[in-house]
Amino acid sequence: MPKKNNAKIKKKILPKQLPRIYMDYAAATPVDLRVAKMVTARLPEVFANSMSFHSFGQAAREVLEQSRADIAGIINANPKEIIFTGSATESNNLALKGVMFANKNRGKHLIISPIEHACVMESSEWLERQGFEVTQLKVDNFGLVNPAEVAAAIRPDTVLVSVMHANNEIGTIEPIAEIGKICREKGVCFHTDAAQTFGKIAIDVKKMNIDLLTASSQKIYGTKGAACLFVREGLRIEPILHGGGQESGMRSSTVNVPAIYSFAQAGKLSQKEMAKESKRLAALRDKLIAGILKNIPGAHLNGHPTKRLPGNANIWFEFVEGESMIIQLDLNGIAASTGSACSSAKLAPSHVLLAIGLQAQEAHGSLRLSLGRWSKANEVNYVLKVLPKIIARLREISPFKTAY
C-alpha cells in the first residue's frame, strides 16, 4: 500500500488526540526533570551501602547526610532528628506504633482525628487490637479539628495526639500550631502527617511545637521510595524494622540513598518556589472551584473555602456517581479521583467525607481535582468546559434527570 494512503487511513482510524491533563497531584506527582537530572548524574557514586566503611560507602553516606541536613533545614529541625523511611505510610506507622510502644509505661491512650489517611486510621485500629485505647476527635463540616476538643480529650494516660497538617482528600488545613501548643503544655507527644504540605506550606517544627512529622518525596516531585519521620530529639520511639541498625537503629534496611537524594533536591526546589507557586496554584484552584459551582447545578464544595491546600478542589455533585464521572473524565483526557464507594476496593465511601457530615449517597458523587507544578490556566478552562457536559450526561441517563 502506498505510504500516502496509509497515512490517510491512519488519520481516520486512530482515536482523536485528546489533551492529557493530570489533575491528580495529591495522589502522586511526576518527578521534576531538574531532580531527575541531578539524581541520574549522581547515581554511579551513591550505589554503595552507606554503612560500609570503604570510600564507596562513605561517598553514599556523605550524600545521605547532606540530604538529611537539607530536609531538616526545610522544617527547622536538627539533621539528627530526621529518620528516612520508604514511604509516608511507613513514617506514619512508625510514628504511631513507635511512640505508643516506647511509652507503654506512661499510658496507652492515643488521640487521632477522624479524617487521617488510611495508614493512620488502620495503624490506630491495629493498636487498639494490641490493647491501646484510641479516641477519635470530631471535625466540623469543613473538616476542621477544634483545638479545644483536643485539650478536652487529653487524659492523664494520653501518650500521643496525631492530627494531619492538611487533609489529602478535601484539602482542609488543620490548626496544628494551636494543637501543638496544647500538647506541649500538657506534656503529650504531637505527631502530624505533613505528606500533603511539606514543601508546599511553611513548616517550623520548633515554633509549631511538633514532636513528630511525616513528609514524603513523591508528593513533591521527587522519586517514590523515600520519605521521612522527624522525631524531636530526646523522644523515644520503638523501631518497627529490626536489622542492621541503620537510621540510628530506628529503621533497619539498606538506605535508599538515590531516592533520598531526590527527596532532598525536590524538597529544596519546592521550598525555593513555595511562595510563588502556592499563590499561583491558589488562584487556579479558586478559578476552578468558582467555575464549577457557578456552571453546574447541584454542586457543593467539600472542605474549607479558604483554609485549604493551594492545589485542592473537592466538589460533590447531586445524583452523579463518582466512578462513572472519573472514567468519563479520563475518556476526555482528564485524570482525577473520587471518594465514591464504587471506586474503592472496600466498596465503602470515603471516611473523610462521612466525617464532615456527608451522607453515603452524597459521598458517591465527590470529585477531587488536585493541581500541581505543571497545571495551567488552559487546563482549568478545559475542565470547566468538559465537566458540565459529563455531569449533565450522567444525570441524563439516571432516573433523577428531572431534578435539573
Partner 1 sequence: MKITKKTTKKKPAVCGSSTGPYTSTVMEHFKAPHNYGKIADPDGIGKVGNLVCGDVMWLYIKVAKNKAGKEIIKDIKFETFGCVAAIATSSAITDIAKGMSLEKAALINKQEIVDQLGGLPPIKLHCSVLAADALAEAIYDFYTKQKRPIPVELEAKHQRIQKEKDVVEEKYKDWTQKEEEIHNQ
- Residue 373 CB: number of other CB atoms within 10 A? 17
Helices (H), 75-193: 88-102, 118-129, 147-153, 176-186
Question: What residues pair up with 84 in beta bridges, in sequence order?
Answer: 228
Active site (annotated) includes residue 342 = yes
Q: From residue 287, how far is each of 167, 290, 380 by CA, in Å?
A: 21, 5, 8
28 belongs to the binding site for partner 1 (CB under 8 A) = no
Q: Applying CB under 8 A, which part among 129-137, 185-193, 308-316, 354-362 lies near partner 1?
A: 354-362
Host H or E run for residue 353:
helix 351-355
27 belongs to the binding site for partner 1 (CB under 8 A) = no
Q: Restricting to residues 294-323, which ones interact with partner 1 according to CB under 8 A?
A: 319-323
Q: Which residues of 248-284 are buried (b: 16+ CB within 10 A; e: fewer)?
A: eebbeeebbbbbbbbbbbbbbbbbeebeebbebbbeb
Q: Which residue in the set 7, 9, 18, 43 belongs to the binding site for partner 1 (CB under 8 A)?
A: 18
Considering beta carbons, is residue 242 or 401 the nearer one to partner 1?
Answer: 401
Q: From residue 189, how far is each of 78, 178, 220, 237 by CA, in Å?
A: 18, 14, 26, 11
Considering beta carbons, is residue 43 or 342 the nearer one to partner 1?
Answer: 342
Q: Which residue in the set 244, 297, 333, 388 belongs to the binding site for partner 1 (CB under 8 A)?
A: 333
C-alpha cell at 59: 561517598
Q: Is 54 exposed, middle or buried (0-12, 13-18, 19+ CB in 10 A)?
A: exposed
Residue with cell 507544578: 373
327 belongs to the binding site for partner 1 (CB under 8 A) = yes
Report yes or no: 46 and 258 within 8 Å, Cβ to Cβ.
yes
399 belongs to the binding site for partner 1 (CB under 8 A) = yes
Considering beta carbons, is residue 41 or 345 the nearer one to partner 1?
Answer: 345
Considering beta carbons, is residue 47 or 374 the nearer one to partner 1?
Answer: 374
Binding residue count for partner 1, defined by CB under 8 A: 39
- Residue 151 CB: number of other CB atoms within 10 A? 17
In angstroms, give the least distance from the CB of 6 to partner 1: 12
Q: Which residue in the set 31, 241, 282, 335 belongs to the binding site for partner 1 (CB under 8 A)?
A: 335
The radius of gyration of the chain from alpha carbons, rounded to an integer in Å, stands at: 23
403 belongs to the binding site for partner 1 (CB under 8 A) = yes
Q: Restricting to residues 104-123, which ones interact with partner 1 according to CB under 8 A?
A: none
Considering beta carbons, is residue 327 or 377 the nearer one to partner 1?
Answer: 327
Q: Which residue in the set 42, 106, 364, 368 belongs to the binding site for partner 1 (CB under 8 A)?
A: 364
Q: Which residue in the set 3, 4, 17, 305 belongs to the binding site for partner 1 (CB under 8 A)?
A: 17
Q: Is 101 exposed, middle or buried (0-12, 13-18, 19+ CB in 10 A)?
A: middle
Q: From residue 127, how far is each of 106, 183, 294 by CA, in Å?
A: 16, 21, 45
In angstroms, give the least distance from the CB of 386 to partner 1: 11
5 belongs to the binding site for partner 1 (CB under 8 A) = no
20 belongs to the binding site for partner 1 (CB under 8 A) = yes
Q: Which residue in the set 218, 256, 324, 350 belongs to the binding site for partner 1 (CB under 8 A)?
A: 324
368 belongs to the binding site for partner 1 (CB under 8 A) = no
Considering beta carbons, is residue 278 or 343 the nearer one to partner 1?
Answer: 343
361 belongs to the binding site for partner 1 (CB under 8 A) = yes
CA-wise closest residue to 172 among 136, 147, 143, 137:
143
C-alpha cell at 188: 503529650
Q: Is 49 exposed, middle or buried (0-12, 13-18, 19+ CB in 10 A)?
A: middle
C-alpha cell at 237: 520511639
Q: Applying CB under 8 A, which part among 13-21, 102-110, 119-127, 194-202 lies near partner 1?
A: 13-21
Residue type, 330: D
C-alpha cell at 218: 513523591
Considering beta carbons, is residue 170 or 394 the nearer one to partner 1?
Answer: 394
In angstroms, give the least distance from the CB of 336 to partner 1: 12
In angstroms, give the least distance from the CB of 15 to partner 1: 6
Q: Provide φ and ψ at 121, rounded to 5°.
A: -60, -45
Considering beta carbons, is residue 40 or 361 the nearer one to partner 1?
Answer: 361
Catalytic residue among 183, 189, 228, 342: 342
C-alpha cell at 151: 485539650
Which residues in this chain contact partner 1 in the complex, by CB under 8 A? 14-15, 17-21, 319-324, 327, 330-333, 335, 340-343, 345, 347, 349, 359-361, 364, 394, 396-403
The residues annotated as belonging to the active site are 342
